[in-house]
Structure 1
Amino acid sequence: MANTPQAKKRIRRNDKRAEINGARMSRIRNFVKKVELAIEGGDKETAKTALLNAQPEMARGVARGVMHKNTAARKMSRLSKRVAAL
């Protein structure tokens, strides 16, 4: 258990950041899921618009430090390739 005020504050801060970061990752996953559902449904126009909405969300996740740059780039690339193949 934390004894110093500094350690107690760090615990509070970590809990708050974890909650915020979890919400950000969840939001990104939801956007990616919409693209994948549109791809499975075979609807190219919906998939394109969903992809255009998902890309800035992933980029924002990278900027906020929730996602690694290469991970986001890889996911965007794979989704783009799948949408183009429709």
Structure 2
Amino acid sequence: MATHSSASKAHKQSLVRRARNRHYRSMTRKAIKRFNAALEAADKEAVTTTYKNAERILRRVAGKGVLKPQAANRTISRLSRKLNQALASK
């Protein structure tokens, strides 16, 4: 148990932040999985819409500080490379 009230408040805040960050990371992973599933299905329309959604989520999460900006940019770059390959091959 925390001795000081500020320590207990800091602990409560960290739990709230942890729950929020877990939600955003989960949302990001789901968006990437949906994009990869659309790639496997070879549906051009679904691939482009899921890519746009994943990019939007990654940029939002990076802006909130859940992911580092460079990590989000790297992931977006990899997804866009996959998108361009999929659109060029079909």
Alignment TM-score > 0.5, same fold: yes
Output the CA distance in 1 between the equivalents of 2:27 and 2:4: 35
User: Which blocks of at least 5 consecutive residues in structure 1 are unaligned?
Assistant: none
1:76 alignment counterpart = 76
Higher RCO (Cα < 8 Å, 6 or more apart): 1
Q: Percent identity over the alignment?
A: 30
Q: Is the 8 A contact 1:44 1:83 kept in 2?
A: no
Give CA-to-partner distance per residue, 1:30-67, whole Å, 9 cap, x none. Answer: 11111011111222221111001111111110111000
**3-state DSSP class of the match of 1:78?**
helix
Question: Map of 1:1-86 to 2, 5 A cutoff?
Answer: 1-86=1-86
TM-score under structure 1 normalisation?
A: 0.94
Amino acid aligned to 1:48: T
List structure 1 segments (4+ residues) > 3 angstroms apart after TM superposition. Answer: none
**3-state DSSP class of the match of 1:66?**
coil
TM-score under structure 2 normalisation?
A: 0.90
Count, aligned residues:
86
Output the CA distance in 1 between the equivalents of 2:80 and 2:59: 15
Output the CA distance in 2 between the equivalents of 1:81 and 1:11: 41
1:84 is displaced (CA, Å) by 1.0
CA RMSD of aligned residues (A): 0.9
1:73 is displaced (CA, Å) by 0.7
Output the CA distance in 1 between the equivalents of 2:4 and 2:60: 35
Output the CA distance in 2 between the equivalents of 1:46 and 1:14: 37
